[in-house]
Amino acid sequence: MVPEINGKETKKSKLIANPNCTTAIGLMALWPLIQKFGVKRVIMSTYQASSGAGQPGMDELKEGTKAWLEDKSVENKVFAHPLPFNVIPQIDKFQENGYTKEEMKVAWETVKICGLPEDTPISCSAVRIPTIRAHSEVIVLETTEKIDLDVARQVLEDAPGVKVVDDPSTFSYPMPLTATGQYDVEVGRIRRSLAFGDYGLEFFVCGDQLLRGAALNAVLVAEEMNTNGVLNGLVAN
């Protein structure tokens, strides 16, 4: 559940699952655009921080970076390969279809959370990058309605939990450094997709997966449940 999207579902159950953090971050920007312009297909590429693998992942990146700079051997136990000064195009285990489980979670959960038809084409490539915190995503949306860029930008400006950071003239766009520690998801590089023309939009998203993708989302779910009376007056701390 992402409360801003399907919070009403809390009325049906007292047991609610947090989504995959990558899914939660991307849907904050994707959902309002789907509501406005419809969806034909979604293509996503993610660039995920070492903290996605927990404290051991962050420690391995820090220790490995130090070792690399000191011209020492870099060990990897958490990740399949050394992460410092590298990118690893694998997160979680490979599935029979060639995608990883992390990539399939994005497809499965996007359909479920947004209430889309199960045959909606959604493809994801997930890559681990040598940053500490905050996941980044390139999202390409093919729509059923013609895109108006000004309207699309306004939709994102008005979306709760979203901060538009998009001014190429001042080199302003979402980055892990600026998204880290923020409740809102940053969205920028908003442009018409060359692949899908008037029916396509491409943009870049950064969000703190430890907040929007985990702890903050869980608190918001609890607050939504309390508002809907599911918690019988109890408020989550």
Domain residue limits, the chain: 3-49+87-227
Residue 21 annotated among the catalytic residues of the structure = yes
Spot the catalytic one: 81, 114, 124, 135: 135
Residue 206 annotated among the catalytic residues of the structure = no
Over residues 178-185, mean pLDDT: 96
Rounded distance, CA 69 to CA 74, Å?
10
**Which pTM does this prediction carry?**
0.92
Q: What percent of the chain has pLDDT over 70?
A: 97
Residue 222 pLDDT level (bands cut at 50, 70, 90): confident
Question: What confidence tens digit (pLDDT) does each residue in 120-137 have?
Answer: 999 999 999 999 999 999
Burial per residue of 63-91, b for 16 or more beta-carbon CB atoms within 10 angstroms, e otherwise? ebbeeeeeeeebeeebbeebbbeeebeeb
Spot the catalytic one: 21, 114, 124, 206: 21
Question: What confidence tens digit (pLDDT) does each residue in 36-95 have?
Answer: 999 999 999 999 999 999 999 999 999 999 999 999 999 999 999 999 999 999 999 999
Q: What percent of the chain has pLDDT over 90?
A: 81
Residue 224 pLDDT level (bands cut at 50, 70, 90): confident
Fold of 3-49+87-227: Dihydrodipicolinate Reductase; domain 2 (3.30.360)
Tell me what pLDDT residue 191 has.
98
Residue 220 pLDDT level (bands cut at 50, 70, 90): confident
Residue 231 pLDDT level (bands cut at 50, 70, 90): low
Helix (H/G/I), strand (E/B), else coil: 122: strand
Tell me what pLDDT residue 234 has.
47
